[in-house]
Structure 1
Amino acid sequence: MTARLPLAVTMGEPAGIGGEIVLKAWAERRSTGVPPFVVLDDPDRLTRLASLIGLAAPVRAVAGPEEAGAVFDSALPVLPLALAAPVEPGRPDPANGAAVIAGIDRAVELVRAGRASAVVTNPIQKSALYAAGFRHPGHTEYLAHLAGMSEEPVMMLAGGGLRVVPVTIHVSVRQAVEMLTAEAIVHCGRVTAAALARDFGIAVPRLAVAALNPHAGEGGSMGREEIEVIAPAVAALCAEGIDATGPWPADTLFHARARARYDAVLCMYHDQALIPLKTVDFDTGVNVTLGLPFVRTSPDHGTALDLAGTGKASASSLVAAMRMAAEMAVARAGGTKTARRKA
């Protein structure tokens, strides 16, 4: 697998903004330096969508990703997928759920067969997929299933010189506290350190571990999670030879001088990670799945059904996800020899 192989980009929810931002990413390819890619989608749908939003983006069906390089300069290469129902922007139809999943399956197959360099996923509408019988919580879990993994992969958000990893993700704050364990922190730290070395070219990754409570628990007076859960996890990571420090008070962990002291932060719950990331870099944040046997990135936003079909959606996050996926694929193939500490 080399960087010369195209990226495999999935359709995502067809009633969302995925098609629009793919078209825009191709149209802006020269100014953004986006790497060549092939999208798994319905060519006729994309042609109609380009006309609807007034975008000059010719679409060409291809038989395989091997044709993408020759096509990419003059047209958007598309590996055709058949949709079961007409697409109305902003109105997901569960009848198209099978095509959404087929696109993910096919993208993973192409990368694992060495025919594409990485998977870049457009956002899915989980409610529509659940109505169609989808039995996985989301993209990440489904990708782990396709990879046959026994261990959970890890979600990292990156952008603006910051990388954050939430240890607990899509649960309430109350549930996050109940679910937080030293084992979960160690798992995230171990996977993150390995991925930073393998996929980002950082020889000795530095991990900062955030506290859960204000003032890192103030010696136990504001909670004992730092003493009983987080500090033992940091010690365990250090015992494995990983450069991990903490627990650090979260309110002083994300300013510019603090960010210079680490390569990624392990955060204890969803918003502790995503608020600083989206404050630092709202438009071009990237969602990266660590620990998979293939490279997968995604834009750090949802389907934006309210924007679908309006022509107003920005492709910035998708372009950033594509560029990061290509760089990760090069690093994983052994092409990156020097450390890169900026996200």
Structure 2
Amino acid sequence: MTFEIEDTGPGLDPAEIDSLFEAFVQTEIGRKSEQGTGLGLSISRQFVKLMGGDITLSSPLGGGTIVRFDIQISLAGAGADIQTQHPTRSVIGLAPDQPKYRILVVEDKWESRKLLVKLLEPLGFEVREAENGKEGVALWSSWEPHLIWMDMRMPIMDGYEATKQIKAHLKGQATVIIALTASAFNEERVLILSAGCDDFVRKPFQEEEIFETMARYLGVRYVYEEKTSATSPQRSATEALTREALAVMPAEWVEQLYQAANQVNNQRIFQLIEQIPSEHGPVAIALTDLVRNFRCDKIIDLTEPATS
């Protein structure tokens, strides 16, 4: 099976294409933007080769890039044993009689910060955010959070240095710091833990990983969505999202959400999600989940103006 993805970006210098599949190699544009690590294509090629295929790049004159890869597949037999993943319970709140947990999110990418904020705030956590390690250290000193979600690669001050500065203080020893990293290398894990982080979660993360990690280090107890039937699968928050659920917001807001989804403007969608009142947290969580899973088409279906 062959896949082909094409974009309309600035394109690639032909002289750079052959080296882009090497680890830690970036284009000149990528280096100037200070985004990424130069590992994505190298790791992607390894995965594709494990599936019996290969991946190639081409950049036509005039801009844009085309990525092609193929994998070896075969049809499953009628009697094949196909394993299905059992649905996990959905967290809908915090159990009573617990401390008011203060959570700090230190992440330079706006969308990644808002994703965690919108995941945690509706449940009852107090959440603050910082754009880099320097801001994170200052907020930690003044606010004393119970736990910090720390991105490790940031401008101005990275997560390694911020963690070292926090853990150098006596009160910093009591602060749980969980690293967020896109790296899959064991060497990176050693560096993260030696900097003083208590643990790490790899990106892209699942909601269950975030909740389980906080429960393990803080003892957080959750309230879970109850199953309506012992035999029917549990409906996720996304499945329960309807036009009626979005009607809690003004018509103008719904129209803006439709326009943002139609333009695949994730940053604008997250800005609109921020405007949803905390009492309608499940709506915010469901919309966030759709954005995370690249389902702007679903948001369009839910917000598209009715035609007469």
Same fold (TM over 0.5): no
* Structure label with greater radius of gyration: 2
Tell me: higher relative CO, structure 1 or 2? Use CA pairs within 8 A at least 6 residues apart. Answer: 1
